[in-house]
Structure 1
Amino acid sequence: MANLKEIRNRITSIKSTMQITSAMKMVSAAKLKKAQDAITAMRPYSSKLTELLQNLSATLDGDSGGAYATQREVSKVLMVVVTSNRGLCGGFNSSITKEVVRTIQHKYQNVTVDLLTIGKKGGDVLGKTYNIIEKRNEIFEDLTFNNVALIAKKLMEMYVDGTYDKIELVYNQFKNAATQIPQIEQYLPIKPIEISENVSVNSDYIFEPSKEEIVEALIPKALKTQLYKALRDSFASEHGARMTAMHKATDNARDLRNELLLTYNKARQAAITNEILEIVGGAEALKN
Structure 2
Amino acid sequence: SGRMDVYKSVSRQIHEIFHEYTDIIEPLSLDEAFLDVTENKKGISLAVDIAKEIKQKIREQLNLVASAGISYNKFLAKIASDYRKPDGLCTIHPEQALDFIARLPIESFWGVGPVTAKKMHMLGISNGFQLRKCSLEMLTAHFGKVGALYYECARGIDERPVEAVRIRKSIGCERTLERDISARSSVIIELYHVAVELIERLQRKDFKGNTLTLKIKFHDFSQITRSMTQSQELTTLDRVLPLAKELLKSVEYEQHPIRLIGLSVSNPKEEVDEQRGTWEQLSFEFSEWE
On whether the aligned pair clears a TM of 0.5, the verdict is no
Indicate the structure whose relative CO is greater, using CA pairs within 8 Å and at least 6 residues apart. 1
- Which of 1 and 2 has greater Rg? 1
Which one has the bigger helix percentage?
A: 1
Class of the TM-score when normalised by the shorter of the 2 chains: under 0.3
- TM-score where L is the length of structure 1: 0.22
- TM-score where L is the length of structure 2: 0.21
